Amino acid sequence: MTAQQTIDQPVFPAETLARMTALYPAEAGLLHHRLRDHPLLSLEALAALGESLPEERVEYNPGELPIGIKPEDIPANGLTIGETIRTIDTNRSWAVLKNIETMPDYRALLMDLLGEIEPVVAPRTGAMLTPQGFVFISSPGSITPFHFDPEHNILLQLRGHKMMNVWPAGDERFAHRREHERYHMGGHRNLPWEDSFRERAQQVPLGPGDAVLMPVMAPHFVTNGDAPSISLSITWRSEWSYRESEAHAANAALRRIGLDPAMPPRWPSYAWAKTVGWRVARKLKLVS
């Protein structure tokens, strides 16, 4: 069954597109959607999808984790990805299926959804590059640790409830420039956590039919409610987001030679010389 056969009205209502126009690309905020009970997103369909994806495109572990945890400290849950998803009600785990757009039906669904928001996105950040989809399946009480991501992102809540806790992107009080540099040079997405961060969190509660717009590199963690949760994350990159990545990578290279470069501006068009220099250095293999 294809996405075209199951979606007979816009998933994002007009008021959601208006709200997104006010927020995008810099602010997080609550949106709404009509994507409910889609056959590609049922628990059994997702278990089958997880079993068909390559090992590097699935991640799963116990869900009762600290908010701040080093990647190497995250234990295994002792199950397969299929077992994890099929028994998510009781196994106290968390799972993500990555790059679902590599499967034709899921790519059709993703592109339909991105097509609906393109009129809002394109005038602000240009072409929607590198479209990707991720599905999160969580047991009651699960926590997704404190981290950030390089994509523009809308997370659609399909089943259960969760709380998105998010902090401003580019604010060094919550993610220092060195953490950005580390990540953009191949490091893990998880960030150091301090309990003092809590008082500055923007909390966005999500239930079925809700969605949240997440800015590029906005630090966040997620707590699941008292029922199993399924969420679909639709993401894209922009020339703007790639320039920001390159500016941080260039700063990492400068730091290695003893300099202490400043945090790049949030709008990387102002970091043009640094990002172009990084691209030239990569092409000439002056940096790795």
Q: Note the pTM of the prediction, 2 decimals.
A: 0.90
What is the pLDDT, as a whole number, of residue 36? 82
What's the Rg (C-alpha) of the chain? 19
Cα–Cα distance measured from residue 24 to residue 213, given in angstroms and rounded to the nearest whole number:
8
Band of pLDDT at residue 288, cut at 50, 70 and 90: low
Between 77-91, 213-227, 271-285, the lowest mean confidence (pLDDT) is in: 271-285
pLDDT score for 70: 85
HEC-encoded secondary structure of 9-39: CCCCCHHHHHHHHHHCCCCCEEEECCCCCCH
Average pLDDT of the residues in 68-84: 87
pLDDT at 275: 55
pLDDT single digits (tens) 14-44: 999 999 999 999 999 999 999 988 999 999 9
| pLDDT tens, position by position, 139-152 | 999 999 999 999 99
Of the candidates 288, 66, 97, 95, the residue with the CA atom closest to the CA atom of residue 190 = 66
Write down the pLDDT at residue 5: 45
**Concatenated DSSP letters of 27-83:** --EEEE----S-GGGSHHHHHHHHHHS-GGGEEEEES---SS--GGGPPP-SS-HHH
Per-residue pLDDT of 156-185, as tens digits, reads: 999 999 999 999 999 999 999 999 999 999
pLDDT of 1 reads 44
> What is the CB neighbour count within 10 angstroms for residue 83?
17
Tens digits of residue pLDDT in 78-101: 899 999 999 999 999 999 999 999
* Predicted confidence (pLDDT) at residue 274 exceeds the cutoff of 60: no
Q: Which of 58-67, 104-113, 236-245 has the highest mean pLDDT?
A: 104-113
Q: Going from the N-terminus, what domains does the chain have, and what CATH number goes with each?
A: 14-237 (2.60.120.650), 242-284 (no CATH)
